[in-house]
Chains A and B, each alone.
Chain A
Amino acid sequence: QQQVKQSPQSLIVQKGGISIINCAYENTAFDYFPWYQQFPGKGPALLIAIRPDVSEKKEGRFTISFNKSAKQFSLHIMDSQPGDSATYFCAAGIQAAGNKLTFGGGTRVLVKP
């Protein structure tokens, strides 16, 4: 199976709060897990990515947690800011197979000031 399931569909968080988005996958061949941020009218922009040999990766306010046995990974946005209001997509790929990406359905995040 190639499906990637993402939750929640939407999220409202106060400024300074933590946004948490979860994804689950089925295909154990996936070995590359990026997160993309998309603003209205724009293409997705890479935020952060992780490989399955690492359980956590942090870049600034963004952290990916990865649980290989559960086939789940999540994005944490710390100290959320109004400028973080966007749609976030998780994705999964197989690097030896050209790394075509299978995307989740997206999470619309609204950060209230």
Chain B
Amino acid sequence: DAGVTQSPTHLIKTRGQQVTLRCSPKSGHDTVSWYQQALGQGPQFIFQYYEEEERQRGNFPDRFSGHQFPNYSSELNVNALLLGDSALYLCASSLVTGFTDTQYFGPGTRLTVL
């Protein structure tokens, strides 16, 4: 059973560019959440997608946008990159059922903005 996969593993961009990160959820999961983890800090929630809609959003500007496809995979897009966007971007998938929807994280995409 494949876990959460993310691509690419690493990415280097320059300020002002745009980037797209991709996530495939764990088999059977229908919800994808994106987190940003700066070096030495805990992950911060960006947004969550369920049934191809953004269900909730954290305190991130509109430069951060996303999409969920019918097969539950998801993309995170960041426009007009800033140096401060350099971080590990984590995707987590879950299944909205029962009382808990435990989130399983992928290995992340390391984004460096120069």
Give A contacts to B, CB under 8 Å.
4, 6, 32, 34, 36, 41-46, 49, 51, 89, 91, 95, 97-106
Residues on A with beta carbons closer than 8 Å to the beta carbon of B104? 46
CB proximity of B54 to chain A, nearest CB, Å: 11
CB proximity of A57 to chain B, nearest CB, Å: 13
Mark interface residues in B74-111 (1 if CB within 8 Å of A CB, else 0). Answer: 00000000000000001010101001111111111000
- Please tell me if the beta carbons of A95 and B56 are within 8 angstroms of each other in the complex: no
Determine which residue in A41, A98, A105 has the highest number of CB atoms from chain B within 10 A of its CB, and name it.
A98
Residues on A with beta carbons closer than 8 Å to the beta carbon of B101? 95, 98-99
Contact among A6, A41, A99 with B103 in the assembled complex (CB-CB below 8 Å): A99
Closest Cβ neighbor of B107 among chain A residues = A43
A97 to B103, CA, bound (A): 14
Residues on A with beta carbons closer than 8 Å to the beta carbon of B103? 34, 46, 99, 101
Residues on A with beta carbons closer than 8 Å to the beta carbon of B4? 43
Closest Cβ neighbor of B4 among chain A residues = A43
Known contacts A49-B102, A98-B56, A103-B44; 13 additional CB pairs below 8 A are A4-B42, A44-B90, A46-B102, A91-B42, A98-B96, A100-B45, A100-B58, A101-B33, A101-B92, A105-B41, A106-B40, A106-B41, A106-B42
- Please tell me if the beta carbons of B102 and A101 are within 8 angstroms of each other in the complex: no
A-B contact pairs, 13 of them (CB 8 A): A4-B42, A32-B100, A36-B105, A43-B106, A49-B102, A89-B42, A95-B101, A98-B48, A100-B33, A100-B45, A101-B43, A105-B42, A106-B42
- Please tell me if the beta carbons of A49 and B100 are within 8 angstroms of each other in the complex: yes
* Interface presence of B15 (CB below 8 A): no
- Please tell me if the beta carbons of A98 and B43 are within 8 angstroms of each other in the complex: no
Within 18-64 of B, Cβ neighbours of A (below 8 Å) are at: 31, 33, 35, 40-45, 48, 50, 55-56, 58
CB proximity of B94 to chain A, nearest CB, Å: 7
Contact among A95, A99, A103 with B42 in the assembled complex (CB-CB below 8 Å): A103
